[in-house]
Amino acid sequence: MSETELLDATPPAESQLDEDDRLKPEFVDAVLEAVEAGDAEAAHLKVAPLHPADIADLVELTPAEQRPALVAAIGDLIDGDVLAEMNDWVRETLVDALTATQVADIASELDTDDAVAIIEDMEPEDQREVLRALDPDDRAAIEEALSYPEESAGRLMQRELIAVPEHWTVGGVLDYLRGHEELATDFWEIFVVDPAHKPVGTCALSWVLRSPRSVSVSDVMAREQTLIPVDMDQEEVALRFQKYALISAAVVDGSGRLVGMITVDDVVHIISQEAGEDILRLSGAGEGDINEPVLDSYKGRVRWLITNLVTALSAATIISLFGGTIEKLVALAALGPLVSGVGGNAGTQTMAVTVRALATNQLTQSNTLRAIRRELQVAVLNGLSVATLVGIGVALWFGHVALGGVIAVAMLVNIVIAGLAGVVVPLTLERFGADPAVSSSVFVTMTTDSMGFLAVLGLATLVGPALLA
Amino acid sequence: MSETELLDATPPAESQLDEDDRLKPEFVDAVLEAVEAGDAEAAHLKVAPLHPADIADLVELTPAEQRPALVAAIGDLIDGDVLAEMNDWVRETLVDALTATQVADIASELDTDDAVAIIEDMEPEDQREVLRALDPDDRAAIEEALSYPEESAGRLMQRELIAVPEHWTVGGVLDYLRGHEELATDFWEIFVVDPAHKPVGTCALSWVLRSPRSVSVSDVMAREQTLIPVDMDQEEVALRFQKYALISAAVVDGSGRLVGMITVDDVVHIISQEAGEDILRLSGAGEGDINEPVLDSYKGRVRWLITNLVTALSAATIISLFGGTIEKLVALAALGPLVSGVGGNAGTQTMAVTVRALATNQLTQSNTLRAIRRELQVAVLNGLSVATLVGIGVALWFGHVALGGVIAVAMLVNIVIAGLAGVVVPLTLERFGADPAVSSSVFVTMTTDSMGFLAVLGLATLVGPALLA
């Protein structure tokens, strides 16, 4: 957001938000009723005081079929800042409805990173048309950004930044900033570069403000700085910002020259997205966005269900191998799922902990063995507790002590195996370069399902006559 | 981190980090070998060039029994900045080993929020001793912070900030900042306050830098500002920072007076933590930290397993009610888990999507019905696909068309019910003020387990003779 916009904005319509900063349903309904009634002016009046992030939310909360009418009514309020805040799926349908010139107008208002976010998802042909409609400078900047891989630092960075030579003084920097209207207005650090435009230091604005005019910037800047390679994946960028508590960072190309800047506000939503993604991946829910079209969600999820169906066959096969045992004691058909189910839960717990520890770089080769030993200890304690409970319960329920014993031992075995699988499977996948969040649960669930039934039915068969008599 | 420390620090020992910014195992081993060999000086030399965040990682990666020796060897390197970056569990054991005076020395170097983070987890008696050892100003600040609820804005904020009256000019601000050594050094915005010390505007430092000395700060500041109530929960704080892309924000007390400031770098790890927490909660893995003591992990997880054992009994009861049907067709014992398992997966997918959408404020009353309809559509498509597959498969496997039909219908029913439960259960829990991530999966799994078996065995019994003959 530019300075002038912030200054001109009326105070936020706080009363339209509930205590969690979400738009109140009454407000959304009132706007949509005005739109429905053809009263564009009333709708516009209500929406105008909102923050761009809230206008984006309003569009998302509006049913897809009513969105065109809403957009027609509040048209000019949906500017670049609103689009930059909007959910990708919703924005895409909105942008599709605009002409290339309209998109170009919006993009030229924005910093490179926000403009790229809007343009990168367009069809190649529409994209080319928008690029042609841009003025040459913006076009060159956006084309360069698009030349970097998706989800890389190059797409995330903005080219609007302040870089000054090492020999300047604080006073020189102040005069430069005050004398050049065209410079960036929102920045938190300035970068100090050598004649080859390679960053040699970073200077927080507060240090500049606190230093006398005569001091050289090279005496104020920090030489220790975290540089981001332009082709770094955004997940790595986010981890680096988090680890070193960065506010902004210089982006450098292959030869070490300063080509852009990433600020923390662009990274914050990536941090949240990457951390939240694991839960969706572990459950095989794909993108997991409630704005995703139904058919895309279906395609993403059904693949996962079919994979799970195939792995579940291993448990079914084990059960059918023990058909004879079940026929002799039908109670086993009821108790098998109990043991495999609780084992599955135990495995999922360990797996969730391991996947999180891997994602946050807490678990490395240095503490792998320790982590496995730790999870085994927890698993043995869990197993002993649950096995005791279930053993006594089953013995009482069926009035059958040997059956209680068999289920208790099977439960202990399955929970320990679950604990081991929950930590070893994600670690192994990670070691082989696979994303542990994506495929761990298939293997862990297959293990706990099969082992649960195998332990119950196998033990029952072994114990034999005493049990089945 | 203070300015001078940044300036003095030697360049980071980048070669000690792998491509994911994690300490290389060889490096950790080398340090620990030096410590083991009693060569404290060699260990110190290796560790000294590291960034505080990396020193914290080194301590975490060191086995608990070797930590005292490591700490003894690199002692002075473990300063407040390192402790502030350290995992809570690891820090706690380290701080326990220090004297009250040592902790007080460390705390007095830090901003209030970091000092509080170190002191808040101590035993009440140790805490009092540390407070007594602090100088009166620091002590008052920390005592006040501790008077706010845990995980509230009051604990998160720092009291070191720059506030200036409205009538000052930009030049006056610059002179004030240059003339007062004792002021905060790291800040990104200055707050403009009225005579009652209530914030009336916020001014990004870049705007101050770009304005001539004669301009009044009230002409540069943004009047639209996001204020954080001192008792706001940290999760809400994080969502607000994220939504409005804040770099820092003023914290106000009940009467609207400025009492502190929260900066985005303190919020970034909360965003990551809160987003990552849902996966741990859904799986019942408690804190889910690999540094948590084994007994704590056990206590957190076993409660969950026992809850799941009890709910799993509902499925077991249903199965045992149909003992007669199973005796007649043992294949049903193998196929029931298949239907309940895939249903469980489908339910988990929908649940993960719903929990994330709730956590990110994407799902509100305004689009609840739409979200339910959407999930039902996906569920029907998933159900039809998987049911067709499994029906044909079972018919071929057992050479029994009617059995294939029964399993297919049961699968369709269960997947649709799973989809419904996966969205309705978290929504209902949220509506009643419960955390949907904590208890959703108990209810959803119970539903899909029970309904899976009920559908298979119920349908088989209904179809009766044709199937069981």
Cα gap A259→A5, rounded to integer Å: 27
Q: Which of B86, B119, B151 is the last residue of a domain?
A: B151
- Residue A346 in this model has a pLDDT that exceeds 90: yes
Q: Which residue of B has its CA nearest to A52?
A: B244
Query: Does residue A447 sit in the same domain as residue A381?
Result: yes
In a domain, B226, yes or no: yes
Pick B374's closest partner by Cβ from A288, A294, A453. A294
CA nearest to A177, candidates A198, A159, A162: A162
Taking the C-alpha atoms of residue B422 and residue B376, their distance in angstroms, rounded to an integer, is: 10
Contact B209 A208 (CB under 8 A): yes
Percent of chain B with pLDDT over 70: 97
Please report residues of A whose CB lies closer than 8 A to that of B173: 209
Report chain B residues whose CB lies below 8 A from the CB of A297.
374, 378
Partners of A449 on chain B (C-beta within 8 Å) are 337, 341
Task: Give the amino acid at B301.
Answer: R
Whether residue A217 is contained in a domain is answered as: yes
**Considering CB atoms only, which of B28, B226, B342 is closest to A308?**
B342
B102-B108-B111-B114 Cα dihedral, nearest 10 degrees: 20
A157: in domain: no
Confidence band for A469, pLDDT divided at 50, 70 and 90: low
Q: Judge whether B106 lies within some domain.
A: yes
Interface test mutation site (partner A, options B50, B70, B302, max chain A beta carbons within 10 A): B302
By Cβ distance, the residue of B186, B208, B305 closest to A345 is: B305
pLDDT tens digit string along B248-299? 999 999 999 999 999 998 898 888 888 888 888 888 888 788 888 899 999 9
Question: Cβ contact (<8 Å) for A337 and B212?
Answer: no
Question: Are A141 and A182 part of one and the same domain?
Answer: no
Find the closest chain A residue to B441 by CA distance.
Answer: A345
The C-alpha of A425 sits at a distance from chain B's nearest C-alpha, in angstroms, of 16
Mean pLDDT confidence for A199-219: 93
Which one of A110, A192, A279, A384 would you mutate to disrupt binding with B, by most B Cβ within 10 Å of its Cβ?
A279
Read off the pLDDT band of B444 (50, 70, 90): very high
Q: What is the pLDDT of residue A468?
A: 65
Closest C-alpha among B5, B429, B22, B376 to residue A223: B5
Mention every residue, 6+ apart, whose C-beta is less than 8 A from residue A315: A340, A446, A449, A450, A452, A453, B337, B338, B341
Chain A nearest CA to B305, separation (Å): 6
CATH number for the domain including B41?
1.25.60.10
pLDDT the model gives residue A8: 38
Residues A376 and A444 in one domain: yes
* Residues B305, A386: C-beta atoms closer than 8 Å: yes
Using CA atoms, how far residue B95 sits from B52, B86, B102, B359, in Å, is 16, 11, 9, 34
> What distance in Å separates residue A128's CA from the closest CA in chain B?
30
- Cβ partners under 8 Å of residue B102, min gap 6: none
Cβ contact, residue pair B301, A390, below 8 Å: no
B242 and A269 in contact (C-beta within 8 Å)?
A: yes
Among the candidates A215, A247, A280, a domain finishes at: A280
Contact B223 A11 (CB under 8 A): yes
The range of the structural domain enclosing residue B97 comes to 3-151
Instruction: Name every chain B residue with its beta carbon within 8 A of the beta carbon of A3.
Output: 204, 207, 222
- What is the overall mean pLDDT for chain B? 89
What was the pLDDT predicted at B273? 83
* Cβ contact, residue pair B345, A284, below 8 Å: yes
The CATH number linked to A183 is 3.10.580.10
> Among B442, B440, B426, B438, which residue's Cα sits nearest to residue B371?
B426
pLDDT in tens, A295-320: 999 999 999 999 989 988 999 999 99
Cα gap B92→A279, rounded to integer Å: 29
Residue B447 lies in a domain: yes
Across residues A102-125, what is the average pLDDT?
Answer: 87
Amino acid at the residue B338: L
Chain B positions touching A239 (Cβ under 8 A) are: 20-21
Q: Which of B205, B337, B357 sits opposite A312 (nearest CB)?
A: B337
Gap from A96 CA to chain B (nearest CA, Å): 22
Residue from A301, A368, A386, A450 whose CB has the most chain B CBs within 10 Å, to mutate: A301
- Asked if residue B283 lies in contact with residue A366, where contact means CB atoms within 8 angstroms, the answer is no
In this prediction, residue B2 carries a pLDDT of 40
Contact between chains at A364 and B23 (C-beta distance less than 8 A): yes
Residues of chain A in contact with residue B6, where contact means CB-CB under 8 angstroms, are: 222, 224
Interface contact flag, B382 A212, Cβ < 8 Å: no
Q: What's the confidence (pLDDT) of residue B248?
A: 94
Give the pLDDT of residue B384.
Answer: 97
Strands of the sheet containing B258-263, edge to edge, are B228-229, B248-252, B258-263
Shortest CA gap B183–chain A (Å): 9
What ipTM did this prediction achieve?
Answer: 0.85
d(CA B176, CA B432): 52
Whether residue A383 is found in the same domain as residue A461: yes
Q: Which of these, A50, A339, A84, lies nearest to B316 by C-alpha position?
A: A339
Instruction: Give mean pLDDT, residues B195-199.
Output: 95
Q: Does residue A289 fall inside a structural domain? A: no
Which of A190, A200, A378 to probe by mutation at the B interface, max B CB count within 10 Å? Answer: A378
- The shortest C-alpha distance from B273 to chain A (Å) reads 8
Query: Would the CB atoms of B305 and A382 count as touching at under 8 Å?
Result: yes
Are residues A333 and A358 located together in one domain of the fold? Answer: yes
What value does the mean pLDDT take over residues B365-384? 94
pLDDT (mean) for A386-408: 94
**B410 or A14: which leads in pLDDT:** B410
- Alpha-carbon distances of B429 from A123, A276, B423, rounded to whole Å: 41, 20, 10
Shared-domain flag, residues A458 and A326 = yes
A53 pLDDT higher than 80: yes
**pLDDT one-digit tens code per residue, B159-176:** 889 999 999 999 999 999
pLDDT in tens, A222-241: 998 899 999 999 989 998 99
- B195 DSSP 8-state letter: T
Please give the C-alpha separations between residue A171 and each of A178, A468, B172, in angstroms, as whole numbers.
11, 92, 16
For chain A, the residue count is 469
Question: What pLDDT, on the 0 to 100 scale, is given for residue B351?
Answer: 94
Number of Cβ pairs < 8 A linking chain A and chain B: 414
Q: What pLDDT is recorded for position A229?
A: 95
Q: Do A205 and B210 touch (CB under 8 A)?
A: no
Scanning A97-169, the segments in alpha helix (DSSP H) are 100-109, 112-119, 124-133, 136-146, 153-156
Please indicate, yes or no, whether residues A18 and A56 belong to a single structural domain of this protein.
Answer: yes
Indicate if the pLDDT at residue A273 is higher than 90: no
pLDDT in tens, A83-110: 888 988 899 888 888 888 888 988 888 8
Q: How many domains does chain B have?
A: 3
> A15 and A117, same structural domain?
yes
pLDDT value at residue A2: 40
Note whether B247 and B177 are same-domain residues: yes
Residues B113 and B175 in one domain: no
Are A83 and A186 contained in the same domain? no
Reported as a pLDDT band with limits 50, 70 and 90, residue A14 is: low
Query: Quick one: A213 and A94 in the same domain?
Result: no
- What CATH number should be reported for the domain holding residue B437? 1.10.357.20
- Per residue in A141-162, pLDDT (tens digit) is 899 999 999 899 999 999 889 9
Residue where a domain stops, chosen among A151, A174, A200: A151
Interchain contact, B301 vs A349, CB within 8 Å = yes
B352/A381 touch (CB, cutoff 8 Å), yes or no:
no
- Inspect the interface and report whether the beta carbons of A20 and B236 lie closer than 8 Å: yes
Adjacent-strand bridge partners of A216: A169
Q: Does residue A156 form part of some domain? A: no
pLDDT at position B252: 96
Q: Band of the pLDDT at B465, cuts 50, 70, 90? A: confident
In a domain, B157, yes or no: no
pLDDT band at B14; cut points 50, 70, 90 = low
Give the closest residue to B351 by CA, choosing from B422, B403, B410: B422
CB contact under 8 A, A280 and B353: yes
Helix (H) and strand (E) counts in chain A: 24, 6
Phi, psi of A364 (to 5 degrees): -125, 180
Closest CA to A229 of A136, A148, A315: A148
User: Which residues neighbour A397 within 8 Å (Cβ) at sequence distance 6 or greater?
Assistant: none
Residue of A nearest to B21 (CA): A240
User: Which residues in chain B have Cβ-Cβ distances shorter than 8 Å to A308?
Assistant: 341-342, 345
For B222, the closest chain A residue by CA position comes to A7
CB contact under 8 A, B265 and A280: no
Q: What is the 3-state secondary structure (H, E, C) of B63-94?
A: CHHHHHHHHHHHHHHCCHHHHHHCCHHHHHHH
Q: What is the DSSP letter of B152?
A: B
